[in-house]
Amino acid sequence: MLFLLQADTVNVPVEAGEGLSLFSLLLKGGWVMIPIFLLSFIAVYILIERFLYIKNNSRIDEGVVRKFQQSLRQADVSNALASLRTSSDVYSRIFQHAMARLGRPARDIESQIESAANIEISAMHKNMNYLGIIAGIAPMLGFIGTISGIIRIFYNISVTDNISIGTISEGLYEKMITSAAGLIVGIFAYTAYHFLNGMIDNFANRIERESFDFMNIIHQPAK
């Protein structure tokens, strides 16, 4: 009987520990978790909103590109413009500006394409700087939580005059949870920032190739 009672006594804390939910664990991080949570929500929102915007606006209708280039090779300016006007994608908007400069020096046309592309790319970069800010701030907030947790540990020791696990556990929770949360949010924001930048770079490279093809075509009239 004594052995069974001892076994039951040992099992109690294990069951209590298993009942600790993730939310309850995060709450032990203290007040620093509030701004870290807010930063995580902002980062997720920006990632989703920018991803959808960039994906939709970097899509190029290949059929429009073929018709446009075919008309240019035939020196049919009116049909080339008409093919661009059948679509509202970024490619069509950029090269409509370029077509308005036909007949001018090549440098003027290239400058117009570059300016139009930069406007579109700037729109894609909108709010992305906040991801960079979050990537820097979140780990620093975690570090503040670490300092706060250490202060709590020493305060509890000074009040209770006892260096036991129970005395220092509250501060340790705050220290470790905030550090981990800050790093996770910072890594997420950093990754999201570079992922979106990669999408924009791919689009910019595509526009650069299309610009190169456009300049070659208009300087090689129909044979």
Q: Are residues 37 and 86 in the same domain?
A: no
Closest by CA position to 205, among listed 117, 144, 140:
117
Give the residue, 103 or 153, on which the prediction is more confident: 103
Answer yes or no: do 151 and 204 share one domain: yes
Indicate whether 1 belongs to any domain.
no
**Domain-embedded: residue 202:** yes
Of residues 106 and 171, more confidently modeled? 106
Pick the last residue of a domain from 100, 125, 150. Answer: 125
Kindly write down the DSSP assignment for every residue of 39-93, as one continuous string: HHHHHHHHHHHHHHHHHHHS---HHHHHHHHHHHHTT-HHHHHHHHHT--SHHHH
Percent of the chain with pLDDT over 70: 72
Verify that 135 and 207 share a domain, yes or no.
yes
pLDDT per residue over 117-148, tens digit each? 999 999 999 999 999 999 999 888 877 777 76
Task: For residues 132 and 208, state if they share a domain.
Answer: yes
Higher pLDDT among residues 188 and 17, named by residue = 188
Same domain flag for 159 and 108:
no
Q: Are residues 91 and 199 in the same domain?
A: no
Contact of 185 with 217, CB cutoff 8 Å? no
Residue 13 lies in a domain: no
Percent over 90 (pLDDT), the chain: 28
Residues 6+ apart with CB under 8 A from 129: none
Q: For residues 100-128, give the mean pLDDT.
A: 88
Per-residue confidence (pLDDT) for residue 133, from 0 to 100: 93
Q: Choose the final residue of a domain: 125, 154, 178.
A: 125
Residue 172 has what pLDDT? 59
Residue 111 and residue 144 in one domain: no
Is 8 domain-assigned? no
Please check whether residues 145 and 52 belong to one and the same domain: yes
As for how many domains the chain has, the answer is: 2
Query: Is 22 contained in some domain?
Result: no
Q: List the domain range (segments joined by +) for residue 86.
A: 61-125
Burial (CB < 10 A; 0-12, 13-18, 19+), residue 50, is buried
More confident residue, 27 or 4: 27
pTM for the model stands at 0.75
Are 69 and 159 within one domain? Answer: no
Same domain, 78 and 181: no
Q: Are residues 41 and 144 in the same domain?
A: yes
- Model pLDDT for residues 10-68, shown as the tens digit of each residue: 343 434 444 455 555 555 556 677 888 899 999 999 999 999 999 998 888 888 888 88
Show which of 125, 147, 170 is a domain's final residue.
125
Residue 83 lies in a domain: yes
User: 118 with 170, same domain?
Assistant: no
